[in-house]
Amino acid sequence: MTSLADEARLVFDTFTDRTTGLFHPTLRLGVTGLSRAGKTVFITALVHNLLHGGRLPLFEAQAGGRILRSFLEEQPDDAVPRFQYEEHIRTILEDRLWPNSTRAISELRLTIEYESGSGWGRMFSGGRLSIDIVDYPGEWLLDLPLLEKDFAIFSAESLERARLPSRRHLAREYLDLVDSVDLEAPADETTAVALSRAFAAYLQSCRTDSAALSTLPPGRFLMPGDLEGSPALTFAPLPVEPGRTYPKGSLAAHLARRYEAYKTVVVKPFFRDHFARLDRQILLVDVMQAINAGPEAVRDLETALADILGCFRPGRSTWLGSFLTRRIDRILVAATKADHLHRDSHRRLEGIVRRLLDDAIARAKFSGARTDVLALAAVRATREASVQDGGETLPVIVGTPAEGETIGEETFDGRTETAIFPGDLPADPARLFVDGAEPDPMRFVRFKPPRLERDAAGLTLSLPHIRLDRALQFLVGDRLS
């Protein structure tokens, strides 16, 4: 994915970071996931619970009273936008709305001062760890494999996906336009813009709830940011022949050049400046959206997640080697929105994610990285209860569905608390991948954030969660021992 010059720069940046870390220990934690997996909510909840002493019984440093204080500091990268924690927490607590999704890369530094867990360590001064949280869209990760693909391979794969039965109707405008163009005709900007817009519209339509497809590179076509309208994003796959040289100035040659520019201007800097500098990684997965959409969406999610994990640089470095090479030594894959299910289904949810990631996780373990899978809700929006239905006791979840959410013919108003029986996930995850299989019907809706509880003294408690403490222990617990 990188040239010798890129690797030399990575070595220099790693050496600089590690040398600085001798005096100010830091951990770069990457947080990613595909659209609506809950990246912004996860970071906001993590920071809020650490700043306000949240209920984290399985986070050993917190449970043992060894965290002296946690506070936000100025981030080290001045060129990267700051993660707007204060704005996001206000949206959740005061407006009872979920904050806007991640649209670009951002960063936040959280510093923890703590006492060592060993008697020997407590004889010396207290410890201090800065966690640089790097938030970036998972869609951008799907671009990294493009670095090893030329325009012909990229085009062939993209067109093959667009012509699948589940996608053809979504890609009709783009496919009709592709069929009408002459690849050897002189390039003109009007045609290039029309092709790129039709291709981007097709990718966007694949993300709707009814389709819930995930394998949608290039990622910046979904989230262009400040590059919207630039030549680097004004291209589209074409039915070019592998190995064939098209006339200079032709449409095929013109869009192939822009594809290469996209890799140079967009993909390589992201890999070099951000992704390759991570120490730990959490990958958030919204499995339930894919389950709702059917087997094709589940299989597509499997492909996308394998591609994403295949981009990581996992491994265990020696102390000396870590000054020259950076490796992600812990990867946590978290199935989000566990609060949309009764706890009886959480193990099944984890089993589905393990099934999705079997091959990719095996490769990461082989390289020396520690991995884990977890069902998680960074902010718990529901509580559990039981109801009687025809003499049968059903486990339900109780919360306030967001306005406009529906189950059957019922549409929720965003104000009324409701008990919902979400159904049971299949004991055998393979049933979700098979066309024509009939798994038990599930009822997933989006809930509003909860109202914060108060203790006996009237103090507002921290955000409730499911297994956020386990996630923290896996990701940073060893660095606070």
Tens of pLDDT, residues 216-236: 889 889 888 778 889 999 999
Question: In this structure, what token pair is assigned to residue 329?
Answer: 């030594």
SS3 content of the chain, % helix, strand, coil (to 5): 40, 15, 40
CA distance 340 to 95: 21
CA distance 268 to 275: 10
pTM for the whole thing?
A: 0.85
Task: Kindly state the average pLDDT of the residues 465-479.
Answer: 96
Question: In this structure, what token pair is assigned to residue 381?
Answer: 């929006």
CB 112 within 8 A of CB 469: no
Q: Domain-by-domain residue ranges, the chain? A: 4-136+274-380+467-480, 146-270
Strands 26-33 and 127-135: parallel
Task: Report the share of the chain in percent with pLDDT over 70.
Answer: 86
State CA 273 to chain mean position distance: 18
pLDDT at 324 over 60: no
Confidence of residue 19 (pLDDT cuts 50, 70, 90): low
Amino acid at 336: T
Q: Tell me: the pLDDT tens digits for 122-147?
A: 545 568 999 999 998 878 878 888 88
CA distance 201 to 236: 11
13, 228, 88, 468 alpha-carbon torsion, rounded to 10° = -60
pLDDT at 79 over 90: no
Q: Tell me: the pLDDT tens digits for 393-403?
A: 888 999 999 99
Q: State residue 169's pLDDT score.
A: 94
Q: State residue 12's pLDDT score.
A: 52
- The CA–CA distances, whole Å, from 346 to 21, 342, 373, 377 equal 38, 7, 11, 11
CATH class of 4-136+274-380+467-480: alpha beta
CB 270 within 8 A of CB 32: no
Q: State residue 318's pLDDT score.
A: 47
Question: In this structure, what token pair is assigned to residue 172?
Answer: 């009709």
Q: State residue 9's pLDDT score.
A: 58
Q: Tell me: the pLDDT tens digits for 20-52?
A: 555 578 999 999 888 788 999 999 999 999 999
pLDDT at 160 over 80: yes
349, 31, 37, 344 alpha-carbon torsion, rounded to 10° = 20
DSSP state of 433: G
Confidence of residue 462 (pLDDT cuts 50, 70, 90): confident
Q: State residue 249's pLDDT score.
A: 94
Asked whether the bond before 218 is cis by omega within 30 degrees of 0, the reply is yes
Amino acid at 117: G
Q: State residue 326's pLDDT score.
A: 66
pLDDT at 322 over 50: no
Confidence of residue 358 (pLDDT cuts 50, 70, 90): confident
Q: State residue 311's pLDDT score.
A: 76
Helices 172-180/151-162 angle, 10° precision:
130
pLDDT at 288 over 60: yes
pLDDT at 11 over 60: no
Counting beta carbons within 10 angstroms of the beta carbon of residue 326, is it exposed (0 to 12), middle (13 to 18) or buried (19 or more)? Answer: buried
Amino acid at 160: E
Question: In this structure, what token pair is assigned to residue 218?
Answer: 């290039």
Phi and psi at residue 359, to the nearest 5°:
-70, -45
Task: Kindly state the average pLDDT of the residues 437-459.
Answer: 72
Amino acid at 410: E
Amino acid at 413: D
Q: Is 418 helix (H, G, I), strand (E, B) or coil?
A: strand
Confidence of residue 120 (pLDDT cuts 50, 70, 90): low
Q: State residue 21's pLDDT score.
A: 53
DSSP string for 235-299: -----PPTTPPPPTTBHHHHHHHHHHHHIIIIIHHHHHHTGGG-SEEEEEE-HHHHHHH-HHHHH
Q: Could you report how far apart the first and last alpha carbons of the chain are, in Å?
A: 36
